[in-house]
Chain A
Amino acid sequence: MAVAPSLRPALAVAMVALTMEACLAADAQSSAYRVEGDGIVSPLTSSAGDPARGRALMAGRDAANCVLCHSIPDPAIRDAGDIGPALLGVANRLTVPQLRLRVVDMRQVNPRSIMPSYYRTEGLVLVAQAYQGKPILTAQQVEDVVAYLSTLR
């Protein structure tokens, strides 16, 4: 779908504003999920997320690499960016469904956010060949990351 890049934030606002529940169809690589209110209630996979794997993904340079922008409370991690808020205590601020939506597609919460959408493939422009049609994280990786985030109290 070719949408002028400058219009995409506006479209995202429209989508969220016009439908309280957005049901997003995605391609074969990222399956459909259901946004209810401010979150995604149902897990994306049937097998539960693993917090240890989630932590490794968040710190890993070529996987989720969340530490580019966020600090996480882990003494083994020395370098972390400060573009996003520190994630210590994030599970006190947000419920698991809220956390899941923020990892899946932060732009539905805040269209102008700099935080990438980790489980979105539509509406992207000039994606490098190797990543075309693929979300940054698989459904299982999203669940792993959410499982780790939910331990950050």
Chain B
Amino acid sequence: MRIGILLLALLAGNTFAQTPAIPASELRSGVSFGSAELRAMQSDDFANPGMLWVERGQKLWQTPVGSAGRACASCHSDASLALKGVAARYPVVNASDRRVIDLEARINACRTSQQKAPALAAESEDLLALTAFVAHQSRGMPLAVSISDSARAFFDQGRDFYYARHGQMDLSCADCHEHNWGRKLLAETISQGHPNAYPAYRLEWQSLGSLARRIRACLFGIRAQMLASDDPQLTALELFLAWRADGLPVEAPGVRR
């Protein structure tokens, strides 16, 4: 009897989770858990190491590549106009093949189909630079992804992954980022696990890194099977993360410990 009720509660919890577990009034960007120095480093463009990638990305944006001999800028004439707000609504479902894609995948799709150039490798300097440049155009804008229509199934998939316990440590993303944010894991304060800073410069990495890289680090920590950066399951998870962070401002390139 008690077990039946428990089962029902668990199933209901999974099926009807329509509002983010952390209400908008309690949403906190990861940067707010950092030290004053870290916060200052992020907000000062001259101190923020991520801006080096943004500058590099701006150059790449204007450089013709591939057999089509086109630059990104050839199609998107004015970056600040054409790109403003794009990062805030990604990941999206790609109209042509109905896959869920993040900004990195969008950039690679433009390269292969429009520029006729080879796709850039995950975490390569060029892909990080272009992603940082594009995301930077939306800085300050609130995250607002769509989870309706064709995005719905990917959203559901991402949410199920988020709440399921995985790996030898048998932990879910929610175990840390919903139930224990603000507490310390060894010396690191666990944040609410939002995606709004990425690609972000992590002091630990001494580099800019993608959201996928950060998620893979969490999967590694719980000793779970690794997902490739472009695995659709990981992108679906990114979509769920963006939805639960709805309204948080894009910080890219963020700075983290």
Q: What residues of chain A have their CB less than 8 Å away from a CB belonging to chain B?
A: 5-10, 13-14, 17, 67-69, 79-83, 107, 114, 116-117, 120, 123-131, 134, 136
Contacts and interface: CB of A to CB of B under 8 A. Distances in A.
A126 B25 CA distance: 34
B10 to A, nearest CB: 5
Interface stretch (B47-55, B103-111, B123-131, B159-167): B159-167
B2 to A, nearest CB: 7
Nearest to B180: A83
Interface string B174-212: 011001100111110010000000000000000000000
B6 A131 contact: no
A134 B172 CA distance: 19
B3 A136 contact: no
B11 interface: yes
7 contacts: A9-B10, A13-B6, A68-B186, A79-B186, A131-B167, A136-B168, A136-B169
Nearest to A136: B168
Nearest to A134: B168
Given A6-B164, A81-B185, A114-B171, A128 B224 contact: yes
Contacts of B168: 116, 124, 127-128, 131, 134, 136
Given A6-B10, A10-B7, A128-B223, A116 B169 contact: yes
A6 B169 CA distance: 16
Contact of A79 (B165, B179, B187): B187
Nearest to B169: A116
A123 B225 CA distance: 15
B249 to A, nearest CB: 29
B22 interface: no
Which of B3, B14, B166, B169: most chain A Cβ within 10 A? Answer: B169
Given A6-B10, A125-B164, A126-B167, A69 B185 contact: yes
B170 interface: yes
A13 to B, nearest CB: 6
Nearest to A61: B186
A129 B220 CA distance: 11
A68 B221 CA distance: 11
Contact of A116 (B7, B170, B190): B170
A86 B179 CA distance: 18
A5 to B, nearest CB: 4
B226 interface: yes
Report the 3 A-B pairs with minimum CB-CB distance, sorted nearest first.
A5-B164, A79-B187, A131-B168
Nearest to A84: B183
B11 A6 contact: yes
Contact of B14 (A6, A8, A117): A6
Contacts of A126: 166-167, 224-225
A13 B11 contact: no
Given A13-B6, A126-B224, 10 more contacts: A6-B13, A9-B6, A81-B185, A83-B184, A114-B176, A126-B225, A127-B166, A128-B225, A129-B225, A130-B223
A80 B186 contact: yes
A126 B160 CA distance: 14
A82 B225 contact: no
Contact of B3 (A10, A82, A120): A10
B183 A81 contact: yes
Contacts of B185: 68-69, 81, 83
B50 to A, nearest CB: 27
A129 B11 CA distance: 30
Nearest to B168: A131
A125 B233 CA distance: 15
Contacts of A130: 223
